């Protein structure tokens, strides 16, 4: 396997299908050897961007650099990019060996080289014993590994994965994402992984980019997107969030005034300096909200809001409450321990919001 790791860079890339602009001024840099996830809802443009990198789609504006070289005018077969498709695209009438050998045969490599390289690729994915089987004699996870072996055997500079785990059932998906990460580390191949599943992106990738409607929203590590989302779209897509629209009324370095729609004015004991008063969305995660009985003594470092439980759900590790506060409904998740009883619907409770866990987002 080649050891030279390459970077991938998109500069001001735009792509339209007819009058519809599907990718808008994409700027992105993936570092050599990095495992990078492209995350976004269906239709956001992820596959279009991936196919553009593979050379199957043509952008109208911008540059695509691999290892510093502009590939915009290089045809797909000359890009040395390996792509694994969602449906694996294996040849059903060929053995596993022949499927993996396909790209090498096309390149007219010698019989010895093919034997050696296919053997190594099958060993890499743990399928040496399955070389003579047909794809339909393999499980979904094994077919996925054949697709990976077939892609890495040609020693691509870049590995592109288009929702490679979405055809597998939940347990297998969790197992395969660990295998995928392990394989990527072993190969050290710069990898771009497309998924609509935020958990998949968070658990596998070094960094990720969030795409919505063809616009890159935010790029960073899983924790930076989760902890510091730049807008309400990212806050709601990467994890779940309570989002309160309203106005910042004052910030004096000690307290923050926020007038929330449906709740009214509140004073947060938060020493934040907000650049300006005006429209904003207050965002906070359900698991950072504490829930107490109404008359319990509560500490002053949090903002406490009185509410009434509308519904409670026991989910095992946590219990999820929907609590009406004024006209808003907030979600609070509590870790569960044996012996802890749930708040029932109708219970009067108090929700505690913690300053360090709240974000003000542009609106």
Is residue 195 at the binding interface for ligand ADP, with CB under 6 A as the rule? no
> Hey, how many other C-beta atoms are within 10 angstroms of the C-beta on 276?
8
d(CA 48, CA 39): 13
Looking at the Cβ atoms of 38 and 303, the one nearer to ligand ADP is 38
Question: From CA 198, how far away is CA 220, in angstroms rounded?
Answer: 13
Q: Is 55 in the site for ligand ADP (CB under 6 A)?
A: no
Closer CB to ligand ADP, 19 or 92, in the complex: 19
By CB under 6 A, what part of segment 4-23 binds ligand ADP? 17, 22
The token duo for 330 is 């907030």
43 binds ligand ADP (CB under 6 A): yes
Contacts with 169 (C-beta within 8 Å, 6 or more apart), sequence order: 140
Nearer to ligand ADP, 46 or 177 (CB): 46
By CB under 6 A, the residues from 21 to 40 that bind ligand ADP are 22, 40
Residue 11 parent element (H or E):
strand 8-17
Residue 79 binds ligand ADP (CB under 6 A): no
Give the residue, chosen from 36, 48, 53, 281, that forms a contact with ligand ADP under the rule CB under 6 A. Answer: 48
Least distance (Å) from ligand ADP to the CB of residue 194? 7
Which is closer to ligand ADP, CB of 9 or CB of 163?
163
User: What secondary structure does DSSP assign to 72-97, as a single string?
Assistant: TTS-GGGS-EEEE-TT----TTS-HH
With a CB cutoff of 8 Å and minimum separation 6, the contacts of 141 are 168, 172, 175, 176
Nearer to ligand ADP, 17 or 337 (CB): 17
Report d(CA 360, CA 232) in Å as an integer: 9
Q: Indicate whether 59 belongs to the interface with ligand ADP (CB under 6 A).
A: no
Does 337 bind ligand ADP (CB under 6 A)? Our answer is no
Q: Shortest gap between Cβ of 196 and ligand ADP (angstroms)? A: 7
Told to check if 44 binds ligand ADP by CB under 6 A, we report yes
Quick check: 73 binds ligand ADP (CB under 6 A)?
Answer: no
Residue 47 or 143: the one with the smaller Cβ distance to ligand ADP is 47
Q: How many residues bind ligand ADP (CB under 6 A)?
A: 10
- The answer to whether residue 205 forms part of the interface with ligand ADP (CB under 6 A) is no
Question: Using the rule CB under 6 A, is 219 a contact of ligand ADP?
Answer: no
The DSSP result for 164-198, as a single string, is: TTTTS-HHHHHHHHHHHHHHHHHHT-EEEEEES-H
Encoding tokens for residue 306?
A: 């009185």
Q: How far is the CB of 54 from ligand ADP (least distance, A)?
A: 13
List the structure tokens of 60. Answer: 């109208």
d(CA 242, CA 263): 13
Identify the three-state secondary structure at position 42. coil
Interface residue with ligand ADP among 9, 30, 36, 47 (CB under 6 A) is: 47
The total of other beta-carbon atoms located within 10 Å of residue 261's CB is: 13
Strands 69-70 and 81-84: unpaired
User: Pick from 3, 4, 19, 42: which binds ligand ADP (CB under 6 A)?
Assistant: 42
> What does the binding site for ligand ADP look like in residue numbers (CB under 6 A)?
17, 22, 40, 42-48
């Amino acid at each position: 396997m080649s050891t030279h790791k390459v970077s991938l860079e998109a500069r001001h890339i735009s792509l339209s299908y007819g009058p519809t602009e599907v990718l808008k001024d994409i700027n992105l840099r993936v570092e050599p050897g990095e495992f990078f996830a492209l995350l976004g809802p269906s239709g956001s443009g992820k596959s279009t961007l991936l196919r553009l990198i593979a050379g199957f789609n043509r952008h109208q504006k911008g540059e695509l650099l691999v290892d510093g070289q502009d590939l915009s005018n290089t045809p797909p077969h000359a890009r040395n990019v390996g792509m694994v498709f969602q449906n694996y695209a294996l040849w059903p009438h060929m053995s596993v060996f022949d499927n993996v050998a396909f790209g090498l045969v096309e390149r007219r490599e010698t019989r010895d080289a093919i034997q050696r390289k296919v053997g190594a690729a099958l060993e890499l994915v743990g399928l040496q014993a399955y070389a003579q089987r047909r794809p339909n004699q393999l499980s979904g996870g094994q077919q996925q590994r054949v697709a990976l072996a077939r892609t890495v055997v040609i020693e691509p500079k870049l590995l592109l994965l288009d929702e490679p785990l979405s055809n597998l059932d939940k347990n297998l998906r969790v197992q395969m994402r660990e295998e995928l990460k392990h394989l990527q580390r072993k190969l050290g191949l710069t990898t771009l992984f497309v998924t609509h599943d935020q958990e998949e992106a968070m658990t596998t990738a070094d960094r990720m980019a969030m795409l919505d409607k063809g616009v890159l929203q935010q790029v960073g590590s899983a924790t930076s997107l989760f902890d510091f989302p730049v807008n309400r779209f990212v806050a709601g897509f990467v994890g779940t969030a309570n989002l309160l629209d309203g106005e910042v009324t004052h910030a004096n370095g000690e307290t923050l005034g926020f007038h929330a729609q449906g709740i009214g004015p509140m004073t947060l004991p938060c020493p934040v300096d907000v650049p300006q008063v005006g429209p904003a969305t207050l965002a906070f995660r359900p698991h950072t909200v504490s829930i107490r009985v109404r008359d319990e003594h509560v500490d002053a470092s949090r903002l406490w809001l009185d509410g009434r439980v509308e519904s409670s759900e026991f989910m095992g590790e946590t219990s999820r409450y929907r609590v009406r506060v004024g006209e808003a409904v907030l979600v609070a998740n509590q870790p569960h321990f044996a012996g802890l009883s749930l708040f029932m619907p109708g219970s009067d409770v108090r929700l505690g919001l913690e300053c360090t866990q709240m974000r003000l987002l542009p609106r």
